[in-house]
Amino acid sequence: MRMPHPIQYQGSKRNLAATILRYLPCNFSRLVEPFAGSAAISIACAAKGRAKSYWINDLNEPLVELLELIINHPSEIADAYQQIWNQQLEDSIEHYYRVRADFNRTRDPRLFLYLLARCVKGSVRYNSEGLLNQSPDKRRHGTKPETMRENIFGVSRLLRGKTAISSLEYKDVLSGVGKDDVVYMDPPYQGVCGNRDSRYFASISHDEYVSALAELNERQIRYVVSYDGRTGDKIFGKLLPENLSLTLVRLEAGRSSQATLLGRDDITIESLYLSQQLAREVKPVPYFHRKPENEQLVLTEPEKYYVAKLF
């Protein structure tokens, strides 16, 4: 089954979703995403019928409102996208900047979908005032309306009627989860762009996040975290500490788009951490998942450099 993906979002875990699902239970009550982004893991999980219900949350309110439209009002957002997309045909660059200005003024999620489909590499960037400032991709016009409509309705069929949607602080979401839930977290990388990463409205404190995970451990909540990573010899974010008793698996996410632009072959490696409670249930083997060129992620023999088991 081809996974529907209406939201183009740099950093989305869509390409890693099948591998991440290997570390979730086969059947469970609810999947919770406190940092949902494009909700790629929820979409993949629903496509496989792994969870009975879903809680999608993100601090980015226009993004959450867009997800709500896609899931619960697919005709409305598909029609709006088609109209906005068709209006670009005379002068697509000027049209993009006009739509971006309108979005920054109104925060209309229908405008946001077009901007996500058309901006450079699906890479959302905000200025210090929280205004979207990413430029258009001059080589393409974005996803065609008929393809976007198919993706929108595909997501709606998977998640409609069984998904709660919110825009809360992650701690508020974590306070509302229980032992029947599985929590998947993909928070902003730490230290990517100094004190503030322009991809996000706000960063999170590493120490506060570690404390929140420790509290989940005390409550015996099952969770998975995508947190730190590296590209070549550049490391993004701090490692989660050993005293959390997590299982660490390394995932090869493919060639870095930034490295490609610079003529380098750097590969991005991402870390996936499993809580002790979840690891006891799914019994993971902490392999390094390698992704050959033009192939799906496959399992290889363990490589000491990339594999660590922390409990």
pLDDT at 192: 42
Of 233 and 203, the structure prediction assigns the larger pLDDT to 203
The number of CA neighbours under 13 Å toward the Cβ of 42 is: 35
pLDDT band at 95 (very low <50, low <70, confident <90, very high): very high
Question: Mean pLDDT over residues 60-77, rounded?
Answer: 97
pLDDT band at 189 (very low <50, low <70, confident <90, very high): low
> At 220, phi and psi to the nearest 5?
60, 45
Question: Mean pLDDT over residues 132-156, rounded?
Answer: 94
Query: Does residue 250 surpass a pLDDT of 60?
Result: yes
Strand 234-236 relative to strand 288-290: parallel, antiparallel, unpaired? Answer: unpaired
Comparing 182-186, 217-221, 262-266, 294-298, the range with the smallest average pLDDT is 294-298
Bridge partners of 223?
183
**What stretches of the chain adopt beta strand conformation (E)?**
28-33, 51-57, 163-166, 181-185, 222-231, 234-236, 247-255, 267-274, 288-290, 298-299, 308-309
Rounded distance between C-alpha atoms, residue 191 and residue 186, angstroms: 15
Pick the CATH number of 74-153 from 1.10.1020.10, 1.10.1240.10, 3.40.30.10, 1.10.3720.10: 1.10.1020.10
Comparing 52-61, 125-134, 189-198, the range with the smallest average pLDDT is 189-198
What is this structure's pTM?
0.84
Rounded distance between C-alpha atoms, residue 6 and residue 152, angstroms: 6
pLDDT band at 194 (very low <50, low <70, confident <90, very high): very low
CB 44 within 8 A of CB 18: yes
Rounded distance between C-alpha atoms, residue 189 and residue 229, angstroms: 8
Which three-class secondary structure state does DSSP give residue 46? helix
Of 121 and 30, the structure prediction assigns the larger pLDDT to 30
pLDDT at 300: 34
Query: Does residue 298 surpass a pLDDT of 50?
Result: no
Question: Mean pLDDT over residues 213-220, rounded?
Answer: 98
pLDDT at 234: 61
Cα angle: 158, vertex 161, 167; to 5 degrees: 90
The structural domains of the chain, with segments of one domain joined by +, span 74-153
Query: Does residue 13 surpass a pLDDT of 50?
Result: yes
Rounded distance between C-alpha atoms, residue 143 and residue 6, angstroms: 9
Q: Percent of the chain scored above 90 by pLDDT? A: 60
Q: Percent of the chain scored above 70 by pLDDT? A: 78
